[in-house]
Every structure is written in structure tokens, then in C-alpha cells.
Amino acid sequence: MIKISLLGFGNLGQHLAAHLNSAEGIDLVQIYSPSQKQKSFQGVELINDLQQLRGADLYIAAISDDAIADLSGKLPPDICLVHTSGTVGMDALSRQSKRGVFYPLQSFSKNHNVSFDQIPICLESNNTETFVLLESVARKLSKKVVHINSEQRLELHFGAVLVNNFTNHLYALSQKHLKSKGIGFDLLHPLIEETTRKALTLGAISAQTGPAKRGDLNTIQRHLNLINEAQLKEIYNLLSDSIRDHSKSK
């Protein structure tokens, strides 16, 4: 059994705790969260004091990026410590002689289940022994495990922001605009699903359609005439110009 302590109990931490606790061959020893008052989670001890940490083979820090280095400084140098950030380098854990990164590439929300076995888990470590341990744990959770260094992981996180956070923000802008006109956003659900399907099967470049792609300036202008907010108009123009430029350079 691989003994693991989870440090952090936010959105990602809660998902990790549930899946680690149910994974075969893993003993989730403790969960640390300074703000938690409950004593246990699914039978696993919850603690709010680092002095209560017991021995484990692996400590996974699922905490905010700016807290990683500080936590590393409070923990013994001889433990095996990894963090889950997509942007922070492995050397933020420089105090620990055995360190690494265990980065599940997904957006996590509380009370919303995800298929963890389909989530890519990106691994990095400072030695072979630690990598073997991380890979063993990752393969108990996911079918997609890859070795990616800190520079590659930052590039991957940038790509993730584009397809996840930025795309979702465009959904929000559309939803807000349509609501102000008394139109239900649910009418766009099938289009969203089909666009995503085509991007995954055909590739996003091949799947691109729309007035900017075909150079339909009249439709673009009619859309711009509908927009009252200067920022939204700027976003529409920037994206239309980008689509047009990329279409020409194909």
C-alpha cells in the first residue's frame, strides 16, 4: 500500500481525496486543511495543524500557487513532496530532496463529478525513484499519464486557459447578451456541443467557420451594430481579426 497525505482540501483537493481514498493500493492517511473544522472525510482523518502530520510515502500539496513555497519551508526536507500546480516550477519545493509535480489537467468544481480516469495527469520529478512512485499513483487514478517538465507544463497551462477560461468567458458574454434581449442561452447548447465535437474530431483549425472565416464583412458590421458595450465590441473585433489572419495563413 502506498501511504499518501493530502495537503489542501479545496476544489481539486476534495476530488483528489475521494479518488485516492477509493483507489486500490492506496492508503490515504490524512488530509490537511487549516480552515477545516470537521474531523474526517470518508473515514480519513482531517487535520488543521501541520504538527499532526504522520509519516507517509508521498505528500501531495493541492493548494494555491502562491502558498506552495511557504508550505515547502514548513515541512521536513526528507519527505517526498509534490504540488499540483500547472504554472509553478518544481523548484518551488527546493527544500525537499525528493520533490515533483502531480498535475491533473482539468477544471474542478465542488459538487460536480468528473471522470478522473479520463483526466491527463502530468508528472515531473527530480529523481527516478520519485517519478516511479508518482507514476504508480497516477496510473491508479487515470488512463492518461505523461511526463512533462516545468516549461512544457506552463505552455500547456496557457493552452488550457485559452480553451477553458477564455472560452467559458465568451459563453458568459453570450449568455448575458441574449438574456438582455429575452432569448434563452439554452438555444445555443446544441451548437456548443457540436463545435466542441468538431474541434476534437476534425481539429480546431479545420473546424473553424463563421463570418470572419469567410470574409463576410456585412454580417460582421451588423453584429457590431448590435453591441453597446465598448469592451465587448473590442473583443468581437479582435477575435474576428485573429480568425481572418489565421485563415489567410493556413
Overall average pLDDT of the 21-28 stretch: 95
Query: Rounded to an integer, what distance in angstroms lies between the CA atom of residue 208 and that of residue 199?
Result: 8
* Distances, alpha carbon 56 to alpha carbons 30, 37, 51, 89, 150, in Å: 9, 23, 14, 23, 25
For the domain 2-148, what is the CATH code? Answer: 3.40.50.720
Overall average pLDDT of the 222-250 stretch: 92
| pLDDT, tens digit, 9 for 90 and up, residues 141-155 | 999 999 999 999 999
* DSSP-assigned letter for residue 87: S
Domain 153-249 has what CATH class? Answer: mainly alpha
Label residue 35 by pLDDT band (50, 70, 90): confident
* DSSP-assigned letter for residue 96: -
Q: Name the residue with cell 516550477.
A: 89
122 class by beta-carbon count within 10 Å (0-12 exposed, 13-18 middle, 19+ buried): buried
For position 139, what pLDDT does the model report?
97
pLDDT at 215 over 80: yes
Please report, for the chain, the start and end positions of each structural domain, with discontinuous segments joined by +. Answer: 2-148, 153-249
pLDDT at 65 over 80: yes
